[in-house]
Structure 1
Amino acid sequence: MKKNCARGLLPALAILALAPPATAQGAMGREPRSATAFELEEIVVTARKRVERLQDVPDSITALSASALEERGVEGIGDVLDFVPGLSMAQGQNPGTVTISARGISQVRNGEAPVAIVIDGVQLSSPNQITQELYDLERVEVLKGPQGALYGRNAIAGAINIVTREPGNDPEFTARAELANGGDRKLRLAGSGALVEDKVLVRASLGWRNFDGLIRNRTLDRKADFQEEWTGRARVIVKPTDDVSIDLRGSFSNLEAGAAYYVALPDGMPNNTSIPVLADVLGDGFRRLRDVSAKLDYEVGGGTITAVTAYSSTHEFFHEDLDWLPQSILEASQDLRVEAVSQELRFTSDATGPLRYVVGAYWLDTDREVRTEVFANVGGSMLSVADTPEANRNRALAGFGQLNYDIAEGTELTLAMRYDTDRRRQTDPRTGITRQKSFDAWQPKASISYRLDADMMAYATWAKGFRSGGFNAPSGVFAPVFRAEDANSYELGLKSEMLDRRVVLNLSAYSTKYDNQQTFLLDATTGAQGIVNIARATARGLEAELTARLARGLDANASVSLIDSGIDDFDGTGLYKGNQVPYVNGWSYALGLSYTTDLPGGSSLTSRVDYTANGDLSFHVDNDDKRSPVHLVDLRLSWETGPLTLTGYVKNLFDERYSVEFFAREFIGTAQDIRWPNEPRRLGLEAVWRF
Structure 2
Amino acid sequence: MRKLTFACLVSAIALSQPAFAQDTAQDAAQEPSDGDIVVTANRTSSLLSKTPIAMSAVSGDDLISSGITNPTQLEETVPNLSIVRGNGLQITIRGVTSTDGTEKGDPSAAFMVNGIYLARPQAQEVSFFDIERIEVLRGPQGTLYGRNSTAGVVNILTVQPKFEFGARADVTYGNYDALNATAVVNIPAGDSLAFRVAANVDRRNNYIIDGNAGDGIGLSPFKDNKTIRLSALFKPSPDLSLLLVGDYSWQKGNPTNGVSPSNFFSNIVSGARPTFERPSYRNPSNRAGRLLATAQAQQAARDNTDDGIMGELNYTMGNVTLTYLGSYRESERREFSNLGTGAVSADFVGRYWQTSHELRLAYGGDGPLQAQIGGYYFKERSGIAFFINNLLAPNTRFGFPQEPTVAENKSVFGQATYEIAPDVRLTGGVRYSSDLKSRVGATVLDAYSSIGNSYSVGTFLGRTTFQTNNAKRTFSKVTWRAGIDYDSPLGLIFASVSTGYKAGGFNDGCETGKGPGCALPAAALYYDPETLTAYESGFKFKVSDAVRFNGTVFHYDYKGLQLSAVTNACGGPCQVTSNAGSAKVDGVELDANVQATEHFNIRLALNYLNARYGQFKPQPTIDFAGRALNRSPKWSWIVGVNYTVPVGDGKIVFDAQTAGRGQYELTDLANFAYFYQPSTTKSDVSVTYTAPDDRFYVAAFAENLENNLVLTGAGTGAFGTVTFSDPRLIGVRAGVKF
Specify if TM > 0.5. yes
Aligned residue for 1:189, secondary structure, equals strand
1:315 is aligned to 332
1:612 equivalenced with 2:647 (yes/no): no
2:57 alignment partner AA: A
Does the residue aligned with 1:41 lie in a helix, a strand or coil?
coil
Change (3 A) 1:108 1:210: closer
Question: Which residue of the partner structure matches residue 698 of structure 2?
Answer: 646
Give 1:623 shift. Answer: 7.3
The secondary structure found in structure 2 opposite 1:166 is coil
Q: CA deviation at 1:205?
A: 0.2
The alpha-carbon deviation at position 68 of structure 1 amounts to: 2.1
Asked if 1:686 corresponds to 2:738, the answer is no
TM-score if structure 2 supplies the norm length?
Answer: 0.82
| Distance in 2 separating the partners of 1:426 and 1:349 | 41
| Residue type of the alignment partner of 1:219 | N
Read off the aligned partner of 1:503 and give its amino acid letter: V
Match of 1:208 in 2: 201
Q: Deviations over 1:334-388 (max 9, x none)?
A: 2333210110000111232100011100000110223221112799x65313445
Which shows bigger deviation, 643-652 or 216-225? 216-225
Partner residue, 2:684: 634
Query: In the alignment, which residue of structure 1 is the partner of 2:73?
Result: 79
SS across alignment from 1:80? helix
Question: Does residue 472 of structure 2 align to residue 459 of structure 1?
Answer: no
Inter-partner Cα distance in structure 2 for 1:234 and 1:517:
39
Checking the alignment, whether the CA contact within 8 Å between 1:227 and 1:256 is kept in structure 2 is: yes
1:52 equivalent to 2:98? Answer no
Query: 1:69/1:579 Cα in 2 relative to 1: closer, same or farther (>3 Å)?
Result: same
In the alignment, is the contact (CA less than 8 A) between 2:469 and 2:509 conserved in 1?
no
Mapped to 2, the partners of 1:88 and 1:508 lie a distance apart of 18
The residue that corresponds to 1:333 in the other structure is: 347
Q: How many residues align?
A: 641
Sort the Cα spacing of 1:629 and 1:316 in 2 relative to 1 into closer, same or farther, 3 A.
Answer: farther
Asked whether the 8 Å contact 2:222–2:256 carries over to 1, the reply is no
The residue identity in structure 2 corresponding to 1:348 is A
**Contact kept in structure 1, 2:307 and 2:330, CA below 8 Å:** yes
Alpha carbons of structure 1 residues 386 and 424: separation in structure 2 relative to 1, 3 Å: closer
Q: Does the 8 A contact of 2:226 with 2:249 survive in 1? A: yes
Indicate conservation of the 8 Å contact 2:340/2:720, yes or no.
no
Shift of residue 624, structure 1, vs aligned partner:
2.5
1:564 pairs, out of 598, 610, 621, with 610
Aligned counterparts of 1:223 and 1:490: Cα–Cα separation in 2: 46
Counterpart mapping for 1:524-535 below 5 A: 526-535=572-581
Letter in 1 for 2:493: A
Task: Please point out which of 220, 235, 239 is paired with 2:235.
Answer: 239
Judge conservation of contact 1:193–1:202 (CA < 8 Å) in 2.
yes
**Distance verdict in 2 for CA 1:71–1:323, change over 3 Å:** closer
**2:601 is aligned with 1:552:** no
* CA distance in 1: counterparts of 2:630 and 2:31, whole angstroms: 47
Which of 253, 274, 295 does residue 312 from structure 2 map onto? Answer: 295
Match of 1:11 in 2: none
Partner of 2:459: none
Which position in structure 1 is the counterpart of 2:9?
none
Cα deviation digits, residues 12-67 of structure 1 (max 9, x gap): xxxxxxxxxxxxxxxxxxxx9999xxx72221111111111111111111112233
Residue number in structure 1 paired with 2:364: 350
Q: Deviations over 1:76-118 (max 9, x none)?
A: 222223211111111135xxx1221111211213232222222
Deviates more, 1:257-266 or 1:390-399: 257-266
1:416 deviates by 0.5
Which of 99, 106, 111 is 1:108 aligned to? 99
Cα 1:153–1:538 shift into 2, 3 Å:
same
Structure 2 vs 1, CA of residues 271 and 458 (structure 1 numbering), >3 Å: closer, same or farther? farther
Answer whether contact 1:225 1:259 (CA < 8 A) is retained: no
Match of 1:92 among 77, 80, 86: 86
In 2: Cα distance, 1:662 partner to 1:48 partner: 37
Q: How does 1:388-399 map to 2 (within 5 A)?
A: 388-399=401-412
CA distance in 2, matches of 1:415, 1:180: 49
Equivalent of residue 278 in structure 1, options 293, 303, 307:
293
Q: Following TM superposition, by how much is the alpha carbon of 1:286 offset from its aligned partner in structure 2, in angstroms? A: 2.9
Q: Deviations over 1:138-188 (max 9, x none)?
A: 111211111110011211121123221122121110012222112223321
Task: Report what 1:474 is aligned to.
Answer: 509
Structure 2 gap segments, 5+ residues each? 1-28, 263-267, 269-278, 443-464, 511-518
Answer whether contact 2:100 2:107 (CA < 8 A) is retained.
no
Letter in 1 for 2:549: L
Aligned pairs for 1:224-263 within 5 A: 224=220, 226-263=222-259
1:491 aligns with 2:506: no
Note the C-alpha offset of 1:400.
Answer: 0.6
Aligned to 2:323: 306
Q: Which has the higher contact order (CA 8 A, sep 6+)?
A: 1
How far, CA to CA, are the matches of 1:235 and 1:673 in structure 2? 44
* RMSD (Å) for aligned C-alpha atoms: 2.4
Task: Calculate percent identity across the aligned residue pairs.
Answer: 21
- 8 Å CA contact 1:317–1:335 kept in 2: the answer is yes
Q: Secondary structure at the match of 2:524?
A: coil
Specify the code of the residue in structure 2 equivalent to 1:298.
Y
Shift in alpha-carbon separation, 1:269–1:129, aligned structure 2, 3 A: farther
1:540 paired to 2:557: no
Runs of 5+ unmatched residues, structure 1: 1-31
Matches within 5 A, 1:144-183: 144-183=138-177
Distance 1:358 1:565, change over 3 A: same
> Residues 314 and 528 of structure 1: is their aligned pair in 2 closer, same or farther, counting only changes over 3 Å?
same
Maintained 8 Å contact 1:271/1:658: no
2:708 paired with 1:656: yes
* Contact 1:84–1:559, Cα closer than 8 Å, also in 2: no
Q: Does the CA contact (< 8 Å) of 1:77 and 1:131 recur in 2?
A: yes
